[in-house]
Structure 1
């Protein structure tokens, strides 16, 4: 049998607590409806681990032996009594210190872990694998095709979220443009921002059309799990056909359907602002 010192045991419990914290956040992100036998076993294992950790850290609860009455020290034993009292005091301080360290381990064990952006993306998108997204007003600062003719500016605050989506989802970007020069301007702006990555978004997945109806047609053909758009009419028309939609609008509109969510920006929807 391997024996550990108290310091090594505390460090071991800390590492074990951090590992369970990570598992804790992942397990409870699973909906009860989708809980399978493997996940149920993981939950049972977590419960057992918590129980034994509690047993390990719990102070002994056995009956305390009654302390004999303290009698006045005799002159011959005064030195021994003083030394014994000093040992008792120092022992009490040591035990208090160990109790405090154990409490710190428990506090760290139950400290909530902030989810990563990748975890937030997957949770918010309900593990959706295909996403279509409008460019104007969502990815770009510009909000109209006329403004896009002059310049194309990728919003810096949305870039991190956009890149995270491309890691987990098949993403298609789309926009209505007025001429071929605007298409080139859009692709160049996305490339300069670093949106095109190996294994992620490619230029062929940036789609252009000349009408709003064309964007609606793109979405219908691609059949994504999520569509992100600023146009209320398009969102309303697609509500019957697309599983989930995110309507980006600075003013919170009335919710058109249960599967349509609203947010002032894409990054705010994921809690990044």
Structure 2
């Protein structure tokens, strides 16, 4: 009789587990696309089922019967005592405890996993493989060709370096800027080299392009036909909106979106959630 009761309890526990797992899976596949966290959760599902099955078997296995104690009767006492007897909890308490255990086991395998920077870059860039980006106010601290002329050397923004290096690993990146003289070009190349941008293997000096006008930068972008262009000049972004799939407007002040394919962010690193 005890064995049949244990089997019934095990069957009820498995049913609760299946019902709760069904809800989890329906929520997981309610999106149109699955990201890496969802795929990982599905992969862990098989492990969860095996783990839970073993857990339920170990907790609900057949129990040994305790031999009945002989009731000792004497002339002075007719009361039978069972010191090892244990009172069973009510059905409601047992059911609630089992539901909680099942929920905890399933929840453990559906905990959200923080994505890596590489995963964020690929997701944000929508798997785009070619990117063009201006230098001033995005990669460099300097904001104009005139400012670059009066400083002894150009400075790469430290906060953007990690994102920049990750983009070079995944994308064909071209950097471009308007300069006033050859000395400014050398300052920029030296700053990028000192920051280690060229040592990652994804960016070479030949992919750093210079021009003398803003129109020249726009022409570079048109010729390269990137998936993404990153700029601070709203006029250039507006002109290129018809030709480039996606664009990012880097500006400290949020402006009205000029086109559906033009995004906005205070900085490149903030666009990827690094700040």
TM-score, normalising length: structure 1: 0.69
Aligned counterpart, 1:20: none
Cα distance change on mapping 1:256 and 1:100 into 2, 3 Å? closer
How far residue 98 of structure 1 moved from its aligned partner, in angstroms, is 9.8
Q: CA RMSD in A?
A: 3.8
User: 3-state DSSP class of the match of 2:83?
Assistant: helix
Distance 1:57 1:236 in 2: 61
User: Size of the alignment, in residue pairs?
Assistant: 220
The CA deviation string for residues 101-138 of structure 1, in whole angstroms up to 9 with x for no partner, is 76544332111111111111001100000000000010
**Where does residue 120 of structure 1 map in the other structure?**
120
1:29 equivalent among 16, 30, 35: 35
Aligned 8 A contact 2:176 2:208 in 1: yes
For residues 23-44 of structure 1, the C-alpha deviation after alignment (integer angstroms, 9 at most, x for no partner) is 999x6138xxxxxxxxxxx89x
1:256 CA drift (Å): 1.1
1:91-130 paired onto structure 2 within 5 Å: 104-130=104-130
* Contact residue 129 and residue 169 of structure 1 kept, 8 A: yes
SS at match of 1:131: strand
CA positional deviation for 1:255? 1.1
CA distance in 1, matches of 2:273, 2:45: 33
Q: Distance in 2 between matches of 1:197 and 1:212?
A: 29
Residue 84 (structure 2) aligns with: 83
* Structure 1 segment 183-262 matched on structure 2, within 5 A: 183-262=185-264
**CA shift for structure 1 position 144:** 0.7
Provide the secondary structure at the position in 2 that maps to 1:183: helix
Alignment of 1:12-27 (within 5 A): none
CA distance in 1, matches of 2:215, 2:251: 20
Distance 2:104 2:121 in 1: 32
CA distance in 2, matches of 1:158, 1:56: 48
Q: d(CA) in 2 for partners of 1:196 and 1:105?
A: 48
Give 1:174's aligned residue: 176
Cα contact 1:57–1:102 (8 A) shared by 2:
no
Deviations 1:184-229 (A, max 9, x none): 1101111111111343111111011111111001001100000000
The whole-number CA distance in structure 2 between the counterparts of 1:103 and 1:266 is 41
Structure whose CA Rg is larger: 2
Aligned to 2:147: 147
CA contact (8 A) 2:45 2:109 kept: no
SS at match of 2:199: coil
How far apart, in 2, do the equivalents of 1:223 and 1:236 lie?
15
- Structure 1 residue 100 displacement after superposition: 7.6
1:48–1:116 CA distance, 2 compared to 1 (3 A): closer
- C-alpha distance after superposition, 1:83-113 (max 9, x if no partner): 3449x89xxxxxx999987654433211111
Kept in 1, the 8 Å contact 2:48–2:105? The answer is: no
SS for the counterpart of 2:248 is strand
TM-score between the two structures when normalised by the length of structure 2: 0.69
Change (3 A) 1:102 1:125: same
5+ residue gaps, structure 2, are 1-27, 61-70, 90-95
Work out the CA distance in 1 between the residues paired with 2:176 and 2:51.
54
